[in-house]
Amino acid sequence: MSNGEDIITSWFARQRNLPACDFPIGIGDDMAEVRLADGVSVLITTDMLLDGVHFDLKTATLEQVGYKAMAASLSDCAAMATIPVAAVVSVGLPAGFGQAQLKELHSGIIAASDKFNCPLIGGDITKWTDASKFVINVAMLSRPAGNPPVRRNGAKVGDAICVTGSLGGALLGKHLSFTPRVKEALKITSLVKLNSMMDLSDGLSSDLNRICTQSKVGAILDTNSIPISPDVKKGSGAVFAALNDGEDFELLFTLAEDNCVKLLKQWNDSVPITRIGTITDAGKMQIKMSAEGETSPKGGPDGKITELKPAGYDHLK
């Protein structure tokens, strides 16, 4: 595990043993779960977006920023196959921001809120002392959708590994306007049982590593099968982009082989599902070279299997 955020997150998680009856899911998944009464639980996620890191106000509009902040949390709801319930939003505004800018930001928040029936129910507005800083934080609640929330730690040796949509190149624009896969996650889990799932925020290589680490399994990917976004330039480096660019906000999930066959047969949605590999007992992530000359991140001859290292976005780098 090489990601700085993963290391500190796992350290945080070890500091306290939460009583499992009240908190079935704690630190380290896409959302935490709180059991409030028999059969009644709520999930919560928090996502902070910084100007200059997750967006750039020099090129992005405030409406896009508001939309992205909500969509990132909605993607967490999707990652657990849960139903969004409500959101609260905090903003740290640059000095000089006024009501007009807040209303523009609000319109983006509401666009996402309306699309996914997830009302804005509260917030906090603060202001920096200078003009150079902007930060937005969304905390979102969701509820289970009949089935238990799908976690990261349930992948089993032999599971098929699948993704929705296509990967790579999101930072060229899609990261500001992506559609969180809330409906797709609920549809998939209504058709078959998933063993593990998360959303792709930091890049396939880093996020798959999280599922592998938490599930104590390995994985092998087939370069040929990874769906590469049309945003990614053709040529060498395209697979590297799909593996590591990040901010795809697609679903990454694993399920038993027979369930995968069943799902792919029944799936007729406009958002494609692609099988990209298999969970193994190798204790590490591996990738099989392309037959079309496309190489792994480290290069290598056609068909050769090499180790895949997490090389996506590291929040603490």
Closest distance of CB 61 from its own copies, Å = 19
Closest distance of CB 16 from its own copies, Å = 6
Q: Any alpha helices (H) in 229-280, and if so which ranges?
A: 238-244, 257-266
Given a contact cutoff of 8 angstroms between Cβ atoms, the answer to whether 187 and 270 are in contact is no
Closest distance of CB 5 from its own copies, Å = 5
Closer to its own copies by Cβ: residue 102 or 172: 102
Q: Order of strands across the sheet with 285-288?
A: 196-199, 251-255, 160-164, 273-280, 218-222, 285-288, 305-307
Closer to its own copies by Cβ: residue 3 or 296: 3
Closest distance of CB 2 from its own copies, Å = 14
Closer to its own copies by Cβ: residue 85 or 261: 85
Amino acid (one-letter) located at 57:
L
Phi-psi region of 71 (alpha: psi -120 to 50; beta: other; left: phi over 0): alpha
Residues engaged in binding its own copies (CB under 8 A) = 4-5, 7-9, 11-12, 15-16, 18, 23, 26-27, 29, 31-32, 34, 36-37, 39-40, 42, 44-50, 52-54, 85-86, 88-93, 97-99, 102-103, 106, 110, 119-129, 133, 135, 137, 139, 141, 143, 315-317
Given a contact cutoff of 8 angstroms between Cβ atoms, the answer to whether 249 and 201 are in contact is yes
CA-based angle 164:169:171, to the nearest 5?
A: 110
Tokens describing residue 91: 């903003």
Closer to its own copies by Cβ: residue 31 or 161: 31
Closer to its own copies by Cβ: residue 50 or 291: 50
